Amino acid sequence: MNAISPDEPGAGATASASPAGAPRDRRITIGDVAARAGVSKSAVSFVFNGRPGVGEGARERILEAARELEWRPDARARALSRSRAQALGLVIRREPELLSTDPFFPQFVAGVESHLSTVGYALVLQVVDGEQAEHDAYSRFAHEARVDGVFLTDLRIEDERPAELAALGMPCVLLGSGGGEDTAPIGLDDAAGIRRAVRHLHALGHQRIAHVAGADRYVHSRVRREAWESEVRRLGLEPGGIAVADFTGASGARATHELLDHPEPPTAIIYANDIMAIAGISAAIDRGVRVPQDLSIIGFDDIPLAPYIIPPLTTVRQDVFQWGSACARTLVAIVEGGEPGAVDLPPVEFIVRGSTGPVRGQDAAPEVGE
């Protein structure tokens, strides 16, 4: 708890009153540790880099000296001499409104951290708001050598970033499905989640299943959309309408009205995220359409609020934390020149709550379950 316990040797407020031979108010260096342990600097370096060549006795003394002096290798000096920043970068580009509701980003970061903290890497963040700014961010990361590798999120159709990063010599992992030729993405299976959703609705007797897609330029939007369409067709139905939105609540509401304005409106809608789905519920109720009696609604993400919506939201859950952790593991392996190793992500889950129900006035199969 208390880092500055007075009985600890060398625990003067600042690193000034070092009990051992650390002369001044100067920063404690590897030299001080070496001196205190009676060895050379390289011996200390070797121990702290986990390489052989130091006797057990010396090793012990070094570790103890370091502990007493509260010394840790200076990340800056280490970075310089190893030409490695020991840091990874994440550039986030999001519209302001989405930033604060999107459950992805915080969870992903937490997952990334869960691995990075075990290997001593730091995560450098950059939040940008436009294409140019995003580009500059990567460029700076590379030219200033601030990070050793980056995570690439929200992959776009015909995304130029992988090629740009390759040109910069910056290793990266791609998040999500799709991607380039030489860079295999690490992603959860969005499509499987959507297919589950479609089948669930089909089992409830729905014939007109619509989809509110996310912004068109994203690969994950397209993946979800295609999964919806192909699964609907596979079940012998026609797509029940599509509307393109942009992941915000406002756009979800608008898309819902659009779909419901149709002469033959859908009896169920699958949204590309929970925010839009929740706004969709609100929009439906506003126009007198009851959920789930008249309209079934399915979201995507399972935000913590989903169970508390009225009606509670049926949705698809992804384990974003694990995803982040897997990406971090892979990226660290890459920048250290090792073998990435296979990543094994947990499957998406489908969470049935109250926003879906049997289709009303079913002219459909009466054998539908659930």
Which residues from 62-101 bind DNA, rule CB under 7 A? 71, 73-74, 77-78, 80-83
**Which two structure tokens, joined as six digits, stand for 337?**
């020149």
Shortest Å distance, C-beta 52 to DNA: 7
Under the binding rule (CB under 8 A), the answer on residue 24 touching a second copy is: no
Name the phi and psi angles at 88, rounded to 5: -120, 150
Which is it for strands 268-271 and 209-213: parallel, antiparallel or unpaired? parallel
Residue appearing with tokens 């509701």: 101
Q: How far is CA 131 from the centre of its chain?
A: 20
Nearer Cβ to a second copy, position 102 or 231?
102
Contact, 216 vs 223, CB < 8 A?
Answer: no
Which of positions 197-256 make contact with a second copy (CB under 8 A)? Answer: 248-249, 252-253
50 binds, among DNA, a second copy, none (CB under 5 to 8 A by kind): none
Residue 214 and residue 224 in contact, taking contact as beta carbons nearer than 8 Å: yes
The torsion region of residue 38 among left (phi > 0), alpha (psi -120 to 50) and beta comes to: left
**d(C-alpha 181, C-alpha 183), whole Å:** 6
Pick from 40, 63, 70, 353 the residue near a second copy by CB under 8 A.
Answer: 70
Lay out the site mask for DNA across 15-54 (x = CB under 7 A, - = otherwise). -----------xx-xxx------xxxxxxxxx-xx---xx
Beta-carbon count within 10 A of 261 CB: 9
Which of a second copy, DNA, none has residue 337 at its interface (CB below 5 to 8 Å by kind)?
Answer: a second copy
* Window contacting a second copy (CB under 8 A); options: 191-199, 229-237, 275-283, 356-364: 275-283
270 belongs to the binding site for a second copy (CB under 8 A):
no
Binding of residue 117 to a second copy (CB under 8 A): yes
Cβ neighbours of residue 287 closer than 8 Å, sequence gap 6 or more:
257, 260
Binding of DNA by 60 (CB under 7 A):
no
Binding footprint of DNA on the chain (CB under 7 A): 26-27, 29-31, 38-46, 48-49, 53-55, 57-58, 71, 73-74, 77-78, 80-83
